[in-house]
Chain A
Amino acid sequence: MRARSAVRLISVLVAFWLSLGVMTGRLFWLQVMGKERFTALAAVQRERKAVLPAPRGSIIDRNGADLAISIEMSTIHANPRFIADVSATASLLSPIIGVDQTTIEEKLRRDSGFVYLARKIEPALGVKVKALQIPGIGVVAESKRVYPSGQLASHVVGFAGFENAGLAGLEGRYDKPLAGQAGYRLSEIDTQGRPIPAGKSLGRRPVAGSDLRLTIDKQIQFVAEMELAKGIQAWGAKGGTVIVANPKTGEILAMANLPTFDPNDVKSSTAADRRNRGLIDIYEPGSANKVITAAAALESGTIRPTDTMRVTDNLKIGTTVFNDAHSHPVWDITFAEVMQRSSNVGVIKVAQQVGKERLYEYLTKFGYGKPTALGFPGEGAGIVPKPNTWSSSSLPTIAIGQGVAVTAMQIMQVYGTVANGGVAVAPRLVLNDGASQTHRVISPTTARQLAEILIGVTEDKYGSGRAAAIEGYQVAGKTGTAQKPRTDAAGYSGYIGSFIGFAPAGDPKLVVGVILDEPTPIWGGVTAAPIFREVMKFALRRLGIGPGLVLPREGTPLPTPDRSGDAANLKDAAVRSGVPD
């Protein structure tokens, strides 16, 4: 009897210890060996990590007007596994979210736990979908980038993609500061997915993107775009650019390009529409480039504005004959008049005295051959051949603005430097981006002499840019009509007409550049100058800039004219001459 009891007792004890051993072993396995795996599994089940997107910064003009802003939209999603009646659900949703019923049905039949049905639709539609209370259908808020002024300054502002990443223009250039830094929230949730009040809650707050305050003035930008559109229509041009800048600060107040696009509807535009011609396209500046030749000549003491020279209407250098825009008898005129009449022959003669090394030096000092400090995506550097590669015809060709290529912004920089007393100020499109870099290019005396010469272009009876004159103001500027190289590099085809100038000439506050692609007639003085006048007039009024100081005029009285001012005759003369102004 006692022996049986002992056996039973031992059996129970063995069973007990064995069970305990198994349990201890299992516990060791779970707690020690499988610790990481099970902790992770528990975390997945219990913890929820929510990404907190950072609000993208706005892009505003210099006066705080919104040019790009992010707003909340509704996104409709579904978990197909919870959809009881696919057809009924699709027929309910289709008219609200504006998606074809078949498409919705196809998505709801997928073997997936999550599908988007419609993204970034109007919040009112999201409310309607929510009100249906269909199991498996959810509505979440998503941010969308919108551009309240549509096409206005679209080439400058650029656009952001569907996922709000900056893709073009300043949206792309300043994507990082605009985007900010996304945060997250890690919280413990209950079985219903609700946060447990006293549960673990960790995270990092999102850092909102910084606002970008541009130098652009919305009103001036609008007028620049409007006048450019009117000009392009009037002169049948393929496209064009207008830039308005402050020469003292380098701030760009307007940058209009046509063709253009609406950043709210990028899909319906072409790559050509979206190209910022003013910064990306390069062209041969033609006579607008003569100001650099003049600057090099005046700065080096090669010539003075009042020095008289004999000018014929053509000049043979090597095998090449260079013509003025129109035939004329021999002129005995001052260098100032050579510039005002935009005589190719006169400028070439001066350039020959300047020499190719010095001319090249001034071309590069004025900023040719490298992109400006804007750092804009895809900005062109231009083309300036090195003097050791120049042929016998290069010096005269480059002196009159052919054989070199620049962007509209680069030529604006040249006139900005002259307007600013010889000091180049790096252009800028963003106000809160530090001060612009400056460097002296020519002396204040040379700059003033050039300004006085350029006033004659708009004010003298025979000036090539009289259409740019503004009543009440002294306007200094230069016309340009340059041949356009063919894309296959086989010679030239078409013309670029331009006018670049500044006002008030005595104390320049604004520089405006107008470049037209293949206008008819071809002349910058006829086509671009009126656009310049209207834009400059508005900008002066908008900024409350009065006529200011009136500069005295350089040069001698003009001789009797021998040309007709009419555009048709000018055009004929240009065709004859080969290199028109």
Chain B
Amino acid sequence: MAMSSRQVPARHAPGRRAPRTANDRPRLRVIPGGAGASAPAGQTLPARRVASKPLSIRIGRPTIAFAAAVVATIATFVFGLVLLNIYLAQSSFTLADVQSRAQQEEAKYRRMRFEVARAESPERVAEAAAQLGLVPPAEQQYLTEPEAHSSGKQLLAEK
């Protein structure tokens, strides 16, 4: 019987070896010519029986699927890691950009605040008012309730 290329001897098979009984064990017998002996001319040697029922393990579809899944998982993980790094790098640049813009806006705000404060300084306001011909009020009138004390103006008038 020719051995299939997909068969391997039992001793190479991974996994658990089946327990053997005395009946299962191949019987030892003498082979004419012994090991390495060549058959006399015109005679053929009988086919050598290794085992009545050879042991073998088949690498089937589930094993390939498992390997593929592992490879895919690793690939996904690595790809994810790369993506995450890209995202982090992008975010870092965006953050730096936003921080820079925030600083610029803050600087702009402070400068505008300064300009407003300078424009509102009493000296400038007084100058502008004078240019427009505005003058401080000559006098100020207060209205007091009848029961309240008389105003200082009245007092001065009485004097």
Contact = CB atoms under 8 A, between A and B. Distances in A.
A272 B119 CA distance: 29
B155 A550 contact: yes
A149 interface: yes
Contact of B152 (A195, A218, A474): A474
Interface stretch (A66-74, A174-182, A398-406, A418-426): A66-74
A144 to B, nearest CB: 10
Interface string A110-142: 000000000000010000000000000000010
Contacts of A70: 110
Given A474-B152, A550-B149, A69 B117 contact: yes
A59 to B, nearest CB: 11
Contacts of A331: none
B122 A198 contact: no
Contacts of B120: 65, 148
A222 B127 CA distance: 13
B144 A546 contact: yes
Contacts of A150: 121, 123
A541 interface: yes
Contact of A123 (B107, B118, B139, B149): B107
Interface in A40-88: 65-66, 69-72
Interface string A504-547: 10100000000000000000000000000000001001000011
B76 interface: no
Given A66-B113, A72-B111, A141-B107, A472 B118 contact: no
A471 B156 contact: yes
Nearest to A460: B159
A549 B155 CA distance: 11
B142 interface: yes
Most chain B C-beta atoms within 10 Å of own C-beta, residue among A197, A546, A549: A197
A473 interface: yes
Interface string A448-462: 000000000001000
Contacts of A69: 110, 113-114, 117
Interface residues on A, range: 35 or more
Interface residues of B, number: 33
B118 A149 contact: yes
A152 interface: yes
B59 to A, nearest CB: 40
A141 B155 CA distance: 63
B102 interface: no
Given A474-B152, A549-B149, A550-B149, A219 B110 contact: no
A149 B123 contact: yes
A222 B123 contact: yes
Interface in B130-159: 136-137, 139-140, 142, 144, 149-153, 155-156, 159
Interface string A172-197: 00000000000000000000000101
Given A69-B117, A219-B122, A471-B139, 12 more contacts: A72-B110, A141-B107, A149-B118, A149-B122, A152-B121, A152-B123, A197-B85, A221-B122, A459-B159, A471-B152, A474-B152, A547-B152
9 contacts: A148-B114, A195-B92, A218-B122, A222-B126, A472-B152, A474-B152, A504-B152, A538-B136, A547-B152
